[in-house]
Chains A and B, each alone.
Chain A
């Protein structure tokens, strides 16, 4: 474990991290009647919100510079800036429930978002075919077979939806989804939780310093 560099940062991270973490298991300490853990969490929420604004300023600056320098694709940046300014000015002055904001959301943001998700259908199907054609081993066969079984067991059939075969496929799908997949998913979730715990502890103990040395 390294203790060089930003000792102040590592110390603050350790103290703050320990106070917030212990609050999950014990009653958090009070300082002058103030719940320190709650105070730190509220500050973190405010900082995250302010950081988002810094990110928006950065986004604006990057695209503003692109328009100014007229680099490749600058008209797209100009469109981005226009829509960003319209939305944020209207939103800041009139609030998110303003009628024009709802129109922007319903007729511009929602169709593009849904369109991008729709695009995913073709992209996923194509990726599935590429996967099985490029990698021919047991695991890719298991992956694709499971996907096909779940799709066939879940979808209405054009012919013979009430046939024995359709019922069998539906039962098979239920068995795969509720037993086999749950077993794998539980292992993955536990693995992710163990990994997250390790990474979090490394940050609190100062072994990893994503905030910089």
Chain B
């Protein structure tokens, strides 16, 4: 038996056993499923660490030092200029972050977290404005202009007008559904106006339709994965029967 074939058989056996272990959850939560998920977490954690080390940390922090050698480090050559500021700052921040490992020194390791959180927050705000709010609003406005948009569902004339209206009403009512501010009534309780209540209910219908579509998409994707798993077990059985 060739190496490749034996690897296919052993690998296929492991993959099939693991698939059955995972799918055994359909009967009930059981030790086999627990074992498979713990193997998965351990392996994924190790793999994620490997990828991060080789794709981010090593090229940015270790390679410049290794490249410069002992002489470059001792002469301070690699600490000069913009790259030097980045390198020294990055090592300092990692050193401070490592203080988070111990509860007694944890409070001194906040600066890297503050930088990480504020950069992430600013990127989210910038990304939301330039990547979602402006493009989506522009697209929503452009979709109202029949001359700018080619019909997506092959519709013409009146059908197009109806579709554009559905898009407009759906977008606005869904957006309005998320508006939770309300006027305070005589009894002190907040209440929406009748008009706003109707708009919000219409928005809820559109949200239900969108979630229904997403649900169907997720169900189809997972059904394909289920079929692929069953097929792979079948292929493995075929391979074993053909070999022995």
Contact = CB atoms under 8 A, between A and B. Distances in A.
Interface in B172-231: 172-175, 177-178, 203-223, 225-226, 228-229
Q: Which of B36, B49, B110, B207 has the most CB of A within 10 A?
A: B49
B206 A183 contact: yes
B45 A56 contact: yes
Given A24-B129, A91-B46, A146-B216, A51 B53 contact: no
B90 A46 contact: yes
Given A21-B122, A203-B117, A87 B50 contact: yes
Nearest to B17: A111
Q: Which of B46, B100, B171 has the most CB of A within 10 A?
A: B46
Contacts of A203: 117-118, 121
Given A118-B222, A143-B212, A146-B208, A42 B121 contact: no
Given A103-B11, A108-B14, A77 B38 contact: yes
B101 interface: yes
The interface residues of chain B, by DSSP majority, are classed as helix
Interface in A3-20: 6, 9, 12-14, 16-20
Interface of B: 7, 11-12, 14-16, 18-19, 21-23, 25-26, 34-54, 56-57, 60-61, 81-82, 85-86, 89-90, 93-94, 97-98, 100-101, 110-126, 128-130, 132-133, 136-137, 139-140, 152-153, 163, 166-175, 177-178, 203-223, 225-226, 228-229, 232
B229 A146 contact: no
B136 to A, nearest CB: 6
Nearest to A15: B118
A174 B47 contact: no
Q: Which of A105, A120, A154 has the most CB of B within 10 A?
A: A120
Sorted nearest first, the 7 A-B pairs with minimum C-beta distance are A183-B170, A187-B174, A87-B46, A91-B50, A146-B212, A115-B22, A184-B210
Contacts of B111: 12
Given A117-B225, A147-B215, A187-B171, A24 B46 contact: no
A60 B106 CA distance: 19
Nearest to B8: A107
A175 interface: yes
